[in-house]
Structure 1
Amino acid sequence: MAPASSLPSSKTVCVMDASGRLGSSLVEKLLQLGYTVHASLFNNGDFHGCAKGLALAETGRRLRVFRSDPFDYHSIVDAVRGCSGLFYTFETPQDQPSYDEFMVEMEVRAAHNVLEACAQTDTMERVVFTSSVTAVIWKEDPKLADDFGERDWSDPNFCRKFKLWHALAKTLSEKTAWALAMDRGVDMVSINAGLLTGQELSASTPYLKGTPEMYEDGVLVTVDVEFLVDAHVCVYECPSAFGRYLCFNHAVCRPEDAVKFSQMLNPSSPCHPPSNDLRVIQQKIQNKKLSKAMLEFASGIYVEE
C-alpha cells in the first residue's frame, strides 16, 4: 500500500535482519518503491528474496548485501552507513531454535548495539523497530485491564515467573531501544506485531507459549506478512507517525476461529468441530492507531497529533 501520489524514492534504507521472512519481504517491497536498500544479514542467514531482489534492483545497483553480527557494533555501523532509515527485526538464529534466558540477553544486547549505531549515523532520519504484541499483553491479572493499547507493557517479573521468554525478550529489548532512542535523539517508532502467519509457522513457535491464556484474555491476534510490511512502510514514510503501533489484521475470539487456528498450526491433524469448552471471547486489544495511520497514508493526508 502506498499513496497514489507517491513518487519513487531515492533514499537509502537498511533492513536488518534481512534473512527472515519479514526482512526479505521488506527488502522486496522497498525496492519496488524505488529505495536503495542495504540488506543486512545476521550471522549465516540467507537472503530468501535475493534473486528476485536483484532483478528488481536493476541488476543489483540499488541493492547491497551486508553480513552483520548483532554483537559486533562495527559491522552494524558498516551496514547503516549512509542510510536515512533502518527497519530492524530480530528473529531467532537457526542454531538457537527456542527462546530461553540466553535469547533474552541476546536480544537486549543486539537492540542496544543497533540503536547506538543509528545514533552515530548522521544521515539517519528514522528507525522502525519491530517488536511484538507479547511485549504488551502479559500482566498479573489481564482480566482487570481495559482494552490493551500502545501504552501497555508486559510485566517482566510476570514473564520470568512463567518463563515467557519470548515476551520477556521483546519487552526488554524494546524498552532498551526506546531508552537509547530518547537519550540519543533518534526518531524511532515501533511495530508491535501479532503472530506472523504463513508456511513457516508451527506449534513450537516461541510466540505461542501461553496461547490458551491469550485466547481467554481476548488478545490472541495474528498478522499476515503483506499487511505487516505495509504497516512498516506506512510508519516510516508518514511524517506524523510516533510511538508504538499494535499491528494485526485478525483476532482469534470465536470457537470456530480457534479451530482454524489449531488447523493452521497442525495441518495434518483432523478437523474437529468447535469444542464445547470454548466460548466467544470479547476482543480486548485494539489497533485503531495503526488503522488511522494507514488510512491517512493511503490518502496522502496526514493529521498532526
Structure 2
Amino acid sequence: MAPSFDTTSHTVCVMDASSHFGLTLVQTLLQRGYTVHASVQKYGEENIFKGVSANPDKLKLFRSDPFDYHSIVDALRGCSGLFYTFEPPLDQPNYDEYMADVEVRAAHNVLEACGQTETIDKVVFTSSATAVVWREDRKSMEADLDERHWSDVNFCRKFKLWHGVSKTMAEKSAWALAMDRGVNMVSINAGLLMADDLSLKHPYMRGAAEMYEDGVFVTVDLSFLVDAHICVYEDVSSYGRYLCFNHIINTHQDALHLARKLAPSASSSLPQSGDCGKSFIEQRISNKKLNKLMVDFEEA
C-alpha cells in the first residue's frame, strides 16, 4: 500500500451504515482518521451513532433512500469514496424472485450518483460469494472458483437461489454502469458474515449443503470483512473483484459447529457424518487475490 495515503484528508460515505457491518465500518474508518458520511435508510437509526465519534466534525449523518437519487447525491457530496452495501427495504425483508429487481435498481441509482459526483475517486461495492459459486459446471471445473467466475443466473432461478440471483444481477449492473460512467469501482464478494444475529433464515443459507459438499461454503468474520473493504479502498493497485473469506466450512465438525450456532434444528440442513462419506471436503474456492493485497495492510 502506498505509504503516502493520508486518511485524514479523505471524506468517505458508508451506505447503508445502520447494519452491524456498516456501523463497525464507520467506527473503524473514524479510528483511522477519516471523515465519514454515515447514510441510513430509516428515521431513528441515527441513534446507534451516539458516542461513536469524539469529534462531531468527523461524523455526519444522512438519511438516504437507495431508490431516491437526490438523497444519495446529498450523502455523496464532498466525498472521495463510497462503501456501498445493500440492505433490503423494510417492506420486503426477504429475498425472493422479485428482490433482484429491487437490488439492481438500488445499485443503478447509487452508481449513477457516483458518476455524477466529481469528487468520487473509488467505490467499494459489497457483493457476495453467491455471485460466484452457483454454476452448472462447478463440480467438473479443474481450477478452483475465484473472483473471475460468475454465478449463472438461470441456474440460480431454476433452483430458487434468490440471493445468488440478486447479488449476481446487482453486481453485474453496477459493473456495467461503472464502466460506462468511468467510475473506479472494486467489489468485495463476501462469504457468509458470521454476525451475532445470524440465523437459518439468512438467504445465503439456501443451498448450504450443496456449497459444503462442493467445498465452496465460505464464511467471513466481521473484523476481517471491514479490514478488507478499507484495504481495497486505500490500495491504489486494487482492481476488479475480490473474494473475501477467512474460513471455509469443509469438515464435519465445522458443519456441526455452524449448525449449533444457527439453531439446534439447523443440523438437519447440513450433511451428517455418514452423508458425505468422508470427514474432510477438499476446498474448491480461492481468495489468493485478496490475501496478497492484505499482506501489508495495517489495522487501525
Provide the residue aligned with 1:284 in structure 2. 284
C-alpha offsets along residues 44-89 of structure 1, whole Å, 9 cap, x if unaligned?
4725740232xx241x211111111111111100110110000000
**Which structure 2 residue ranges, 5 or more long, are not aligned?**
none
Question: Counterpart in 2 of 1:113?
Answer: 109
Equivalent residue in structure 1 for 2:210, among 206, 210, 213: 213
Match of 1:139 among 135, 138, 152: 135
For the 8 Å contact 2:132–2:147, the answer to whether it is kept is yes
| TM superposition shift of 1:141 | 3.0
Whether 1:204 and 2:195 are equivalent positions in the alignment is no
Structure 2 CA distance, aligned partners of 1:132 and 1:245? 10
Tell me the TM-score normalized by structure 1. Answer: 0.91
Mapped to 2, the partners of 1:255 and 1:89 lie a distance apart of 32
Question: Measured at CA, do residues 263 and 212 of structure 1 come closer, stay the same or move farther in structure 2, by a change above 3 Å?
Answer: same
TM-aligned CA distance change 1:134 to 1:44, over 3 Å: farther
Shift in Å, 1:93: 2.9
For these two proteins, the number of residue pairs brought into alignment is 295
Aligned residue in 2 for 1:303: none
State how far apart, in whole Å, the 2-side matches of 1:156 and 1:268 are: 30
Matched, 1:162 2:159: yes
Q: Following TM superposition, by how much is the alpha carbon of 1:97 offset from its aligned partner in structure 2, in angstroms?
A: 2.8
Q: For residue 194 of structure 1, what is the aligned residue in structure 2?
A: 191
Q: Could you list the per-position Cα deviations for residues 5-57 of structure 1 after superposition, in whole angstroms to 9, with x for gaps in the alignment?
A: 8755221100000011111111101111111110011244725740232xx24
Q: Kindly report the root-mean-square deviation, in angstroms, between the aligned alpha carbons of the 2 structures.
A: 2.4
Alignment partners' CA distance in 2, 1:180 and 1:199: 34
Structure-2 separation of matches of 1:161 and 1:274: 26
* Identity percentage of aligned residues: 61
**Aligned-pair distance for 1:261?**
1.1
CA distance 1:188–1:72, shift in 2 (3 Å): same
Q: 1:93 aligns with which of 89, 93, 99?
A: 89
Judged with a 3 Å threshold, the aligned counterparts in structure 2 of structure 1 residues 119 and 51 are, in CA distance, closer, same or farther, namely same
Sort the Cα spacing of 1:27 and 1:173 in 2 relative to 1 into closer, same or farther, 3 A: same
The runs of 4+ residues in structure 1 deviating greater than 4 Å are 2-8, 267-270
Residues 134 and 269 of structure 1: CA distance in aligned 2, closer, same or farther (over 3 Å): closer
Q: Kindly state the Cα deviation for residue 245 of structure 1 after the two structures are TM-superposed.
A: 0.4
SS in 2 for 1:198: coil
SS for the counterpart of 2:296 is helix
Distance 1:221-1:47 versus aligned 2 partners, 3 A rule: farther
Rounded to whole Å, the distance in 1 between the matches of 2:30 and 2:226 is: 13
C-alpha distance 63-298 of structure 1, shift in aligned 2 (>3 A): closer
Which deviations, in whole Å up to 9, do the C-alpha atoms of 1:171-205 show, x marking residues without a partner? 00000000011111110000000000121100010
Q: Distance in 2 between matches of 1:190 and 1:45?
A: 29
**Range 92-101 or range 155-164, more displaced:** 92-101
